[in-house]
Amino acid sequence: MGLVSVQENGNTEVGVNNKYRRMDSQTNDDDFGDDYDASQHHHQMERRRTTRKFVFACSVFASLNNVLLGYDVGVMSGAILFIQEDLNITEVQEELLVGILSVVSLLGSLGGGRTSDAIGRKWTMGLAAIVFQAGAAIMTLAPSFEVLMIGRILAGVGIGFGVMIAPVYIAEISPTIIRGSLTSFPEIFINLGILLGYVSNYTFSGLPAHTNWRIMLAVGILPSVFIAFALCIIPESPRWLVMQNRVDEARSVLLKTNEKEAEVEERLAEIQLAAGLNNGEEKAVWRELLNPSPALCRMLITGFGIQCFQQITGIDATVYYSPEIFKSAGITDNTKLLAATVAVGVTKTAFILIAILLIDKVGRKPLLYVSTIGMTMCLFSLGAALSFFGQGSFGIALAILSVCGNVAFFSVGMGPVCWVVTSEIFPLRVRAQASALGAVGNRVCSGFVAMSFLSVSRAITVGGTFFIFSAFSALSVAFVYKFIPETKGKSLEEIELLFQDGYELQGSEVQLGDVEHLVQKE
């Protein structure tokens, strides 16, 4: 950008952003320059505070659906003990009941991508809440295993919608500088839901077996009140609005969510270019996903792979079956089992806060390294505790420490960063449906782990099963090294360029012209 601009009358004028001042303006600047600068600085700071509060509130509200997922996962780990007693279900039925939610949720995730492109990110979150609440109500009143399964299937579809759309929405409304922290919010709320589920188990476990598990499940209906309120507050995603050619509405949202007014038009132009509004014909999204360009293929490998590794390292087995794990270690009393699971929930929730504080400072990749290496060590030590130390006090202590360590390392990296990366890496035109594919991989692997854990552990022991999980976790370290780029500090439109030449940026910064070139190239 030049220092001076030449006007039609032949005079020169100093550029607005030029740090050099004209000599004849010195007197005027001395008179009111300091006051003007102070006023501008104060205005900018006020705007930054207001913007961050608004985006923070939107991120919290958008993440409320994830409380439902976490609560269901946490509460079922304890409720299943009493469902077995009340409905006399078999071990196979227990596995089916626990695991079917993850498998069915892939239908919601697949549908969620198309739905969010059709009706918007915001109202897809509302649809997710309605479907889940219907399922939770049916489970609460279920007189038999079959009716319980119907409610479980409905809840799974609702969770599938919610789990894929919240990170996408938050990533699309967040300023670049704090996007990583805010996109981690869904994982915080999953952990909070798990903890609430564990606490609910412990609180209501003293009631008769016919009613306690029903109350435990019924509590999950309460967040719907807050979700209904949230939908009245949060705006639609500006990137979705641009895709619908509602540019003025998108500009209005960007003015509320960007810290600098001067950046709004630049961001809007980037989004329009990335959305293909200034481009010619656009390929159908699913045709593009099924026949991807080399860059999109790299993105799909990264997004789908990290989602699968998040689950095949066994986190759902650890959470769903923590009472079974502690039974194998030697704890027999139900109250003590549920108290131990509360400790796991507290640990999992507490350590997610570390990730939130660090993700935009140290980056995504360092947290993933710490997480995957730490998980590998803890899963191996859990396998050793259950296999070699019998049911003595040392074995129990090592098992509890290993489980808590595993969920702590998961929360520091693999848990939140997985969703952050998946919501960041895809181009706008395919983001919702490509993220849905990643969520499908996540839910399929989660369902496979949940539905096979008891059978596999009966065949090769619980300790042997965790040795397998530790091997998968070791593989995830290599995957992070090879396929995950660092996305810290880059806009969503800039991140596309990371995948153009094998995950390497050409140069230290990406300009708007580069984004235009990228769109034209595709």
255-290: b (≥16 Cβ within 10 Å) or e? eebbbeeeebeebbebbbbbbbeeeeeeeebeebbe
Q: pLDDT tens digits for 177-198?
A: 777 778 778 878 888 888 888 8
Count the Cβ atoms, other than its own, within 10 Å of residue 91: 11
CATH class of 47-234: mainly alpha
Give pLDDT, residue 43.
62
Window from 14-18, 357-361, 401-405 with minimum mean pLDDT: 14-18
Backbone angles phi, psi at 333, to 5 degrees: -75, 130
Count the Cβ atoms, other than its own, within 10 Å of residue 331: 18
Residue type, 389: F
The DSSP bridge partners found for residue 12 are: 6
Give pLDDT, residue 274.
66
Give pLDDT, residue 280.
40
Share of the chain above pLDDT 70, in %: 84
Q: pLDDT tens digits for 323-360?
A: 888 888 887 777 777 788 888 888 888 888 888 888 88
Average pLDDT over every residue of 489-507 = 64
Nearest alpha carbon to residue 343 among 307, 397, 293, 282:
397
Average pLDDT over every residue of 294-322 = 88
The answer to whether domain 47-234 and domain 279-503 are alike in fold is: yes
Give pLDDT, residue 275.
67
Residues 486, 367: contact at Cβ < 8 Å? no
**Measured distance CA(421)–CA(300) in Å, rounded:** 11
* Residue 508 reports pLDDT greater than 50: no
Alpha helices in 120-144 (DSSP H): 121-141
Give pLDDT, residue 402.
93
pLDDT band at 278; cut points 50, 70, 90: very low
* Residue 4 reports pLDDT greater than 60: no
Which residues contact residue 84 at a Cβ distance below 8 angstroms, ignoring those fewer than 6 apart?
94
Residues 495, 171: contact at Cβ < 8 Å? no
* Residue 6 reports pLDDT greater than 60: no
DSSP-assigned letter for residue 104: H
Residues 107, 161: contact at Cβ < 8 Å? no
Count the Cβ atoms, other than its own, within 10 Å of residue 390: 12
Give pLDDT, residue 34.
59
| Helix (H/G/I), strand (E/B), else coil: 22 | coil
The encoded tokens of residue 179 equal: 């996007």
Residues 152, 79: contact at Cβ < 8 Å? no
Give pLDDT, residue 501.
62
Average pLDDT over every residue of 37-57 = 74
pLDDT band at 41; cut points 50, 70, 90: low
The domain segmentation of the chain, as residue ranges, is: 47-234, 279-503
Tell me how long the chain is: 522
Average pLDDT over every residue of 489-513 = 58
**Measured distance CA(328)–CA(385) in Å, rounded:** 10
* Residue 406 reports pLDDT greater than 90: yes
Q: pLDDT tens digits for 82-127?
A: 888 888 888 888 888 887 887 787 777 777 777 888 888 888 888 8
Question: For domain 279-503, which architecture applies?
Answer: Up-down Bundle (1.20)
The encoded tokens of residue 344 equal: 């796991």
Q: pLDDT tens digits for 454-477?
A: 889 889 998 999 999 999 999 999
Residues 209, 145: contact at Cβ < 8 Å? no
**Measured distance CA(210)–CA(223) in Å, rounded:** 24
pLDDT band at 407; cut points 50, 70, 90: very high
Burial of 229 (0-12, 13-18, 19+ CB in 10 A): exposed
What does pTM read for this prediction? 0.67
